[in-house]
Amino acid sequence: MAIQAIQVTPIQVPNGSAVDFGAAITNVDLENITDKDFDVIRNTLYNSHVVLLKNQQGVSPRAQYELTKRFDPAASTYGHGKTLDVKRS
């Protein structure tokens, strides 16, 4: 099975919408994220302001934490800290 390159696609909005931001990212595996993958995610977030990471069902708390740490090395959790699941992860 060939590995597909990460794809970034602007989010489609209805005609006449004032929304002009957002992108969807496909073909990224958050369980096995590389530095190159993160560069794409980070650059897309900063340029598009909203990012939808497609097909990420079953992402482990560990992968969520590691992604958060890439954005903020000082982070101690992957959530906002107000949920029971954050404390159990």
Q: Are residues 13 and 34 in the same domain?
A: yes
**Which residues lie closer than 8 Å to 40 by C-beta, 6 or more apart?**
6, 8, 25, 28
Q: What is the pTM of this model?
A: 0.79
Indicate if 7 and 45 belong to the same structural domain.
yes
Same-domain pairing of 70 and 81: yes
pLDDT band for position 14 (cuts 50, 70, 90): confident
Tens digits of per-residue pLDDT, 28-55? 999 999 999 999 999 999 999 999 999 9
10 and 49 together in one domain: yes
Same domain, 69 and 26: no
Domain match, 45 and 63 both: no
Structural domain of 33: 1-57
Helix, coil or strand: residue 18: coil
Q: Is 12 helix (H, G, I), strand (E, B) or coil?
A: coil
Is the confidence at residue 83, as pLDDT, over 80? no
How many domains, the chain? 2
- Nearest-angstrom CA–CA distance, 22 and 53: 11
Whether 53 and 67 map to the same domain: the answer is no
**According to the per-residue pLDDT averaged within each range, which of 37-46, 54-63, 69-78 is highest?**
37-46
Alpha carbon distance 25, 46 (integer Å):
13
